[in-house]
A and B are shown apart, each in its own frame.
Chain A
């Protein structure tokens, strides 16, 4: 095992300034240092060069084509003038001002061809994962390899597309598997040595607390994957990781019970990976409503009391507010009109499921659709407006269930879903009051219903988002008024970021195969 041999030689690269956890905690500023910009997943930038008043003079500054890319989904990391973007099994460092390639690392021999959602940065290194679940560490200025370690077995069906999260000295990673029957986990890998520090399994083993919620279904097939990046509260030293659906997706007859910790957010001790608390949004899910949407952290006075909150717009159609110290459920409210699977939630946040909405072999009409009322498209939160900006989908599906014997990694999901041709889905960017979930404004996004783009908000009073027609749009953060747009000519599956380089503010979004970067027009 090379990782073990490697540990003996683990020395920092020659004198290069370190990106410290403290610096990451201050992001975003000129830099954008985590997948969502900060540890709290707010995707809100303090930059003010681009404002609601001048955004209409935004122009394209550079476009970088990623050779061979078909569906870029990454959110860039930007540090010290370099931008890191990922594609399937490869990472690029670009000059953030000019869009020129500084280096590229391709993981030769990596198996699988998953999309990739981005990199992490810590110390003198950048990190990314390959489709076959290797974590790769590279010198951030030159792309020189520090280590390549496997953290899950591709041969056992594991794959991944996650942007890792750097917490303390650790690089946190997760896996896919909700649709193919692998057991989910979050792993923390020492960023210096490549050794695994801890692992939290999202499906308890036989005899562990929570195992009784599966009716004897094998934990190895349980799913509850960890395919999106979590959040972190440095003060509480807790990591908040969202989990996906139990497997098989649409048939629950072999896994009677709540199926912990699927469709949940788990709060883990950052040093040990031990579970502090969990909250399950959709117990015993049979609709494929992963809870992998970003858990957004904020502090506010809630019902007269200052509280540390965690909010999430969940795929099941409800906007949730939890206490992130204890996991206590505080409030929830639907953020889509098309929601018919429950008559409401009880005072613990547990949904009252309408029995007719359980999928059957004949097919059951359910709203929201399998894609969800929200999904992994990143939302943002602007403390100045008190608004939570989230891309939502109004859609219903016919879901068909099958009691067939499940075989992992066979493509079987307990059967599947069909769209309803007479009711095409429609995306809306909605601004929710962060403390009530009330919709303050909405921006319809007509299109083919295939986008996965998210948002970034700025102290300049602008919300940037991709739309369902391939436009990067700029909206007034307070009113939702359309201020500017740029048609990229591609569909959008990534969330924009904003940063400074050479004293100027830029906005970047990845399209199918290109990196588009915009800045204010400057007369010569």
Chain B
């Protein structure tokens, strides 16, 4: 009996010590199992359907060990069944689930980033309002580091449904001065006393509400939906690689 407890404790501590693998091969292997066994309830990109979303909420916050246990043993009292696969395969599924909420720069991404780059600076028109390392325009969010700041899912959402979730500080605004002229751009901040706008030229307007006759904050994003959704995969492949610190930790 005592031996069993020791053995269980040992296996528990070994499990605790193990971490979700982060290598692309494990993530890809996990994706394949996920598509066969998990996507029916959790959706192809973890967005949730019958089962909960894996992109937000409890599932995205589970420690590695608890994520492993939820997959392997299921969650009693819920419709999450057990998947009695070998541990290695369970860790691969966990790796894929983690990749859904990891920064896009750290996960394998399908698509052609070179074509994505030429679309970004050309046909798709992104660089008219967005900038990467000083190339491009204002006043959209700078995308130099976007692969480190957003998940793949968030990148996809932003490109295909730009008005669904507008980042704070990027709402379209028109402020009209009492003299009649107006200032258009994105409202970086606004309240009853002042409004701070950045326009398409990258100019900052720091305005006293007392000098204005009106302020209009728009519900729609300044960003139009992608004209050709077929371009999305390549654009995302390009944007996912935009990270200010790709060689993090490299010694001089």
- Binding site secondary structure of chain A: loop
User: For residue A155, which residues in chain B have a CB less than 8 angstroms away from its CB?
Assistant: 249, 251
Asked if B247 and A82 make an inter-chain contact with CB atoms under 8 angstroms apart, the answer reads no
Q: Mark A99-139, 1 if CB is under 8 A from B, else 0.
A: 01111000111110000000000000000000000101001
Tell me, yes or no, whether B188 is within 8 Å of chain A by CB. yes
Q: In the docked arrangement, what's the CA distance between A148 and B142, Å?
A: 14
Within 8 A of B (CB), among A143-188: 143-148, 150-156
Bound: A11/B208 CA distance, A: 33
CB contacts (< 8 Å) of B138 on chain A: these are 14, 142, 144
The reply on B196 being an interface residue by CB < 8 A is yes
**Is B17 interfacial (CB-CB < 8 Å)?**
no
Chain B 128-162 near chain A by CB (<8 Å), digits 1 or 0: 00010111011100101100110000000000000
Instruction: A10 to B208: give the CA distance in the assembly, Å.
Output: 36
Interface size class of A (residues with CB under 8 A): 35 or more
Given A100-B189, A154-B249, A145 and B244 contact (CB-CB distance below 8 Å):
yes
Q: Which residues of B contact A145 (CB under 8 A)?
A: 133-134, 142, 144-145, 244
The residue in A10, A100, A143 that gathers the most chain B C-beta atoms within 10 A of its C-beta is A100
Contact, CB under 8 Å: A109 / B148:
yes
Cross-interface CB contact of A13 among B144, B202, B248, cutoff 8 Å: B202
- Tell me whether A142 and B142 are in contact (CB under 8 A): yes
> Does chain B have a CB within 8 A of A1?
yes
Partner of A9, one of B133, B189, B208: B133
User: Given A107-B244, A155-B249, do A144 and B145 touch, yes or no (CB 8 Å)?
Assistant: no
Q: Assuming A9-B135, A109-B148, A148-B244, is B196 touching A141 (CB within 8 A)? A: no
Q: Are A1 and B202 in contact (CB under 8 A)?
A: no
**Residues of the B chain whose Cβ atoms lie less than 8 Å from the Cβ of A151:** 252
Contact between chains at A15 and B134 (CB < 8 Å): no
* Bound form: Cα–Cα A14–B139 in Å: 12
Residue from A97, A141, A144, A152 whose CB has the most chain B CB atoms within 10 Å: A144
Closest Cβ of chain A to B200, distance in Å, is: 10
Neighbouring B residues of A154 by C-beta, 8 Å: 249
- Chain B residue with Cβ nearest A99: B194
Measured in the bound complex, the distance between the Cα atoms of B246 and A2 in whole Å is: 8
Nearest chain B CB to A2's CB is how many angstroms away? 6
Q: With the chains together, A111 CA to B245 CA distance in Å?
A: 11
Residue A6, interface by CB 8 Å: yes
Report if A101-B188 is in contact (Cβ < 8 Å); known contacts: A145-B144, A148-B245: yes
A302 within 8 A of B: no
Q: How many Å lie between the Cα of A248 and that of B148 in the bound state?
A: 38
Q: Is the CB–CB distance between B134 and A13 below 8 Å? A: yes
Let me know if B189 and A144 touch, CB within 8 A.
Answer: no
Q: What's the minimum C-beta distance from A220 to chain B, rounded to whole angstroms?
A: 13
State whether the Cβ of A328 lies closer than 8 Å to any Cβ in chain B: no
A5 CB to closest chain B CB (Å) equals: 9
Smallest Cβ-Cβ distance to A143: which chain B residue: B142
Closest to A110 in B: B245
Given the interface pairs A100-B194, A145-B133, the reply to whether A109 lies near B251 with Cβ below 8 Å is no
A142 x B139 contact (CB < 8 A)? yes
A152 touches B134 (CB 8 A): no
In the assembled complex, the Cα of A101 lies from the Cα of B190 at a distance in Å of 9
Shortest beta-carbon distance, A77 to chain B, in Å?
15
Q: Which of A2, A11, A16, A95 contacts B196 (CB 8 A)?
A: A95
A344: interface (CB < 8 Å): no
Given the complex of chains A and B, what is the CA–CA distance between A148 and B243 in angstroms? 10
Decide: B204 and A102 in contact? CB cutoff 8 A: yes
A98 at the interface (CB under 8 A from B): yes
Chain A residues lying within 8 Å of B194, measured Cβ to Cβ, are 95, 97-98, 100
Does the CB pair B196–A147 fall under 8 Å?
Answer: no
Q: How far is the CA of A154 from the CA of B203 in the complex (A)?
A: 36
B residues 16-33 touching A (CB-CB < 8 Å): none
Neighbouring A residues of B145 by C-beta, 8 Å = 108, 145, 148
Q: Which residues of B contact A150 (CB under 8 A)?
A: 250, 252
B139 touches A139 (CB 8 A): no
* B125 nearest CB across to chain A (Å): 17
- Docked Cα-Cα span, A511 to B145, in Å, equals 30
Task: Report the minimal beta-carbon distance from B151 to chain A, rounded to whole angstroms.
Answer: 13
- Chain A nearest Cβ from B10, distance in angstroms: 33
A2 close to B244 (CB less than 8 A): yes
A contact residues around B245 at 8 Å (CB): 2, 107-110, 134, 148
Contacts of A102 in B (CB 8 A): 188-189, 196, 198, 204, 206
Contacts of A144 in B (CB 8 A): 131, 134, 138, 142, 144, 202
Q: Is the CB–CB distance between B142 and A100 below 8 Å?
A: no
Cβ A82 vs Cβ B204 within 8 A = yes
Please determine whether B202 and A147 come into contact, CB atoms closer than 8 angstroms.
no
Kindly state whether residue B43 has any CB partner on chain A within 8 Å: no
A81 within 8 A of B: yes
Q: For chain A, residues 384 to 424, give those with C-beta under 8 angstroms from any C-beta of chain B.
A: none
Contacts of A81 in B (CB 8 A): 204, 206
If the complex has contacts A16-B202, A142-B202, are A100 and B196 also in contact, measured as CB distance less than 8 A?
Answer: yes
Question: Which A256-297 residues sit within 8 Å CB-CB of chain B?
Answer: none
In the complex, the chain B residue whose C-beta lies closest to that of A11 is B134
Q: Does B48 contact A (CB under 8 A)?
A: no
Assess the A141–B204 pair: CB atoms within 8 A: yes
Convert A331-366 into 0s and 1s, putting 1 for each residue whose CB lies closer than 8 angstroms to a CB of B: 000000000000000000000000000000000000
Residues of chain B lying within 8 A (CB to CB) of residue A142: 138-139, 142, 198, 202, 204
- With A102-B189, A141-B204, A145-B142: A109-B134 Cβ-Cβ less than 8 Å: no
Q: Per-residue 0/1 for B187-226: is the Cβ within 8 Å of any A Cβ (1 yes, 0 no)?
A: 0110101101010011110101000000000000000000
Known contacts A143-B142, A152-B252; A98 and B206 CB within 8 A of each other: yes
Contact partner, A10, options B134, B247, B248, B251, Cβ 8 Å: B134
Q: What CA separation (Å) do A12 and B135 show in the bound complex? A: 9
Question: Using Cβ atoms and an 8 Å threshold, which residues of chain A touch B52?
Answer: none
Sampled A-B contacts (30; CB under 8 Å): A1-B250, A2-B247, A9-B134, A10-B134, A13-B134, A13-B202, A14-B202, A81-B204, A95-B194, A97-B194, A98-B196, A100-B188, A101-B196, A102-B198, A102-B206, A107-B244, A107-B245, A108-B149, A109-B148, A134-B245, A139-B202, A141-B203, A141-B204, A142-B139, A142-B202, A142-B204, A144-B131, A145-B142, A145-B244, A147-B133
Other A-B pairs, 9, CB within 8 Å; known A141-B202, A144-B138: A14-B137, A82-B204, A100-B194, A108-B149, A141-B198, A141-B203, A142-B202, A148-B244, A153-B252
Using CB atoms and an 8 Å cutoff, list the residues of chain A in contact with chain B: 1-2, 6, 9-16, 81-82, 95, 97-98, 100-103, 107-111, 134, 136, 139, 141-148, 150-156, 502
